[in-house]
Amino acid sequence: GKGGYEHYMLKEIDSQPTSLRNTIKGRISPSGDDVDVDAFDPETLSEFSEVQFVACGTSYHAALYGTTLLNEAGVRARTYRASEYQMASDPVTEETLVVSVTQSGETADTLGAMRRASREGATVLTVTNVMGSSAARAADETVYIHAGPEIGVAATKTFSSQTVTLALLAQRLAAHMSGEREHRDLEPALDALTSLPDDLGRMLEGDDAERIANRFLGSDAYFFIGRGLGYPVAKESALKFKEITYEHAEGFASGELKHGPLALVTPQTPVFAVFTGEHDEKTLKNAKEAQTRGAPIVAVAKEGHPAIEATDAHLPIPDTDPMWSGLLANVQLQLVSYHAANELGRSIDKPRNLAKSVTVE
Ligand code: F6R
């Protein structure tokens, strides 16, 4: 049941400290320098030269986050929309590891992409939430995100568990696939992971998201911008916002604003800017370009961040490793979408025209 909540979505957002603990449980060695994702004989990992992610919707955004993590860990990776992957002409070989990211494990587009990958000789790994799902049965290897059942049509807690699972996978793959390439050490991020559920719990006690949602209700459109790991968060936040509020929302790479979308910016279009602790000066510069056109800017940033002074509203996130700031920002923005949709009286758990799993191509 809803456990006293009016909507499953809010219950699921609030349950993220627990679902994340379950995702992480038993997967990081006590010394913090090794991870176990219950898949792959380490011997086989060095056979891969490249990772191709296939996914749809929210899972696609989690895969984008994962791609950035893998690339930073020195592993060649890219992300495809599953529906496009089937006709993509990008080479697939025996050295390609195809990773499908699918909460339900039943998404037809994703299953189709997995079939193409298998047909062309790739090894297929699926990252899923559902035991025995079609994706788990079709894949060569399966990694479960252990987020628990998600009832709300809008994916929330599964996005967080997907990104964390992909970070663990990145650490696992990097040890075997990064070769001589220069790369970032993921260990500080894995350390920070152990306190992430508590950070999230503290953040969820605040009412900042509801305040911000009410303040900007009735705007013409809602824009979300971010750079690096903030980019998939901007895309995901806009998807969530449009899904459940039915209002117009778009997510952009901060640097792209001035290449077109700036034409849409007015005093009636708030811009939510995600500050992860990396590339923030550039993001602030991009946010100010929108502010100059009259748009109110909401800085999603840790307390004391320089962007707060320069912008119009602040949505706080706890201080953590830059690898997880995006995850925390995403949860705050899930709450903004939820409260805006609630205020508008929308059908939050079952938005119009949408289904929890999309079993047609
Ligand atoms: C968004 C949402 C959808 C799904 C997409 C993929 O809130 O729920 O965009 O993320 O249909 O579904 P899965 O992950 O089950 O393959």
- Compare 220 and 88 and report the one with higher pLDDT: 220
Of 99-113, 180-194, 202-216, 287-301, the least confident = 180-194
Is 289 in contact with 257 (CB distance < 8 Å)? yes
ipTM over 0.85: yes
Q: Is residue 345's pLDDT more than 80?
A: yes
Q: Is residue 30's pLDDT more than 80?
A: no
To test ligand 1's pocket by mutation, which of 358, 359, 360 has the most ligand atoms within 8 angstroms of CB?
358
Q: What residue ranges line ligand 1, CB within 6 angstroms?
A: 56-59, 102-104, 107, 110, 154-155, 239, 243, 357-358
Is 302 in contact with 325 (CB distance < 8 Å)? yes
Across the range 273-300, mean pLDDT stands at 98
Given 235, 240, 242, 356, the catalytic residue? 356
Among protein residues, the one whose CA lies closest to atom 3 of ligand 1 = 57
* Phi and psi at residue 48, to the nearest 5°: -90, 145
Ligand 1 atom index nearest CA of 358: 11
Q: At what angle do helices 16-24 and 157-177 cross, to 10 degrees?
A: 20
Ligand 1 atom index nearest CA of 57: 9
Sorting pLDDT into bands at 50, 70 and 90, what band is 221?
A: very high
Tell me the per-residue pLDDT of 231-250, one tens digit each, with 9 for 90 and over. Answer: 999 999 999 999 999 999 99
Sorting pLDDT into bands at 50, 70 and 90, what band is 121?
A: very high
Tell me the per-residue pLDDT of 319-333, one tens digit each, with 9 for 90 and over. Answer: 999 999 999 999 999
Instruction: Write down the pLDDT at residue 243.
Output: 98
Could you confirm whether 25 is annotated as catalytic?
A: no
Q: Which letter does DSSP use for residue 120 in this model?
A: T
State what percent of residues in the chain have pLDDT above 90. 84
Q: What is the mean pLDDT of the chain?
A: 94
Q: Looking at 174-292, which runs of residues are DSSP E strands?
A: 222-226, 249-253, 271-274
Closest CA to 269 of 252, 248, 283, 288: 248
Q: Is residue 172's pLDDT more than 90?
A: no
Q: Is residue 33's pLDDT more than 70?
A: no
* Phi and psi at residue 250, to the nearest 5°: -140, 145
Which tokens belong to 321? 């490793």
State the distance from the centre of ligand 1 to the C-alpha of 103, rounded, in angstroms.
7
- Compare 64 and 87 and report the one with higher pLDDT: 64
Closest CA to 23 of 161, 136, 192, 187: 161
Among protein residues, the one whose CA lies closest to atom 4 of ligand 1 = 57
To test ligand 1's pocket by mutation, which of 101, 107, 130 has the most ligand atoms within 8 angstroms of CB?
107
The whole-model pTM stands at 0.96
Q: Is residue 296's pLDDT more than 90?
A: yes
Sorting pLDDT into bands at 50, 70 and 90, what band is 32?
A: low
Instruction: Write down the pLDDT at residue 34.
Output: 67
Residue type, 316: P
Q: Cα–Cα distance between 15 and 151 in angstroms, integer?
A: 12
Across the range 50-55, mean pLDDT stands at 97
Q: Is residue 257's pLDDT more than 70?
A: yes
State the distance from the centre of ligand 1 to the C-alpha of 29, rounded, in angstroms.
31
